[in-house]
Amino acid sequence: MSNQPANFPGNRNQLKPIKVGVIGVGNMGQHHSRILSLLKDVEFVGVADVNVEKGLETASKYRVRFFENYLDLLPRVDAVCIAVPTRLHHRVGMDCLQAGVHTLIEKPIAASISEAESLVNAAADHDCILQVGHIERFNPAFQELSKVLKTEEILAIESHRMSPYSQRANDVSVVLDLMIHDIDLILELVAAPVVKLTASGSRAATDSGYLDYVTATLGFSNGVVANLTASKVTHRKIRRLAAHCKNSLTEADFLNNEILIHRQTTANYSTDYGQVLYRQDGLIEKVYTSNIEPLHAELEHFVHCVRGGNQPSVGGEQALKALRLASLIEQIALDGRVWQQSDWNYQYLNSPVITAS
């Protein structure tokens, strides 16, 4: 941000801690609270939740104030982390931004493209930082992977993000809950427009409003192809991305924080006492990755952006880009069409992302 506005705490006093609150202390909000209570240069002010019991319990654990109505928290903070259900991101996010409060919203940025656009506009209008919780960007394995791939020619990418069935995040499809992480990572790695897309999906129960398993193939303008699969009905948790490059295969395992680079050095036939043998030599490099918790890195980045008035690495625009593509994948998986770049007025680009009740 070039002209730092007055509501950046870094402008007022470099030494003042940034006052932060958490709105929604369910699954994710608990982790935000834990990490904010540990961060240097942060004053963790309070939590807000409509669930009074959960809110009071979290507030007492971290010795902060509890607010049943998040609007009462806003005058007391410089910044908030919003971890309410996705369908509420827009309403809560707009209230925060319009109050001039820097905002980190959990992913996906919002439940529809028009809601996401209005959040992005509100952040600009009110000179606020808007960061979105695309946490995998801060995963040390992804950070190392993107360094490795800077010197490689990527041909194709495959991602797998599978989870066993759970009651959580059932207000969105698997594309918005899980695949959106890989959509964001792949858009960042390939850095070219998507020109072709196919997708298919299935449900665990015929009466389920949302798809539970989706696979999508993206064609990029630079020739890279990406295959993404996400599932919330697989009996094993998997978080993997593989980049097939001209001179290597690089595999990242985000669960185990591991990166392996495979290179085939030689492949030849030889004879051994008249017998023809096939011999293939390969090299596997294991890349060192730090063990910093991704959410810790994400929140440190947010606080750093708030203090310095810098644009976050995953701001509203990037999150909106990921949401547009997620929305298209979801709609194509539902109706089985093939989308090409020439479909300029493709109706689904503007359709709501959350449709089922």
Ligand X SMILES: NC(=O)c1ccc[n+]([C@@H]2O[C@H](COP(=O)([O-])OP(=O)(O)OC[C@H]3O[C@@H](n4cnc5c(N)ncnc54)[C@H](O)[C@@H]3O)[C@@H](O)[C@H]2O)c1
Contact positions vs ligand X (CB under 6 A)? 23-29, 48-51, 54, 70, 83-86, 88, 106-107, 133, 135, 168-169
Minimum distance from residue 314 beta carbon to ligand X (Å): 11
Minimum distance from residue 37 beta carbon to ligand X (Å): 17
Residue pointed to by tokens 């090299």:
283
Q: How many CA atoms lie within 13 A of 264 on its CB side?
A: 9
Alpha carbon dihedral 112, 255, 170, 131, in 10-degree steps, equals -30
| Closest to ligand X by CB, 224 or 252 | 252
| Closest to ligand X by CB, 170 or 198 | 170
Residue with CB nearest ligand X? 26
| Closest to ligand X by CB, 154 or 169 | 169
Strands 79-82 and 225-231: unpaired
| Closest to ligand X by CB, 50 or 283 | 50
| Closest to ligand X by CB, 106 or 251 | 106
| Closest to ligand X by CB, 249 or 320 | 320
Minimum distance from residue 20 beta carbon to ligand X (Å): 16
Alpha-carbon distance of 271 to 140, in angstroms, equals: 45
Minimum distance from residue 47 beta carbon to ligand X (Å): 9
Minimum distance from residue 152 beta carbon to ligand X (Å): 27
Alpha-carbon distance of 237 to 243, in angstroms, equals: 20
Minimum distance from residue 70 beta carbon to ligand X (Å): 5
Could you tell me the two tokens for 55?
A: 């809110």
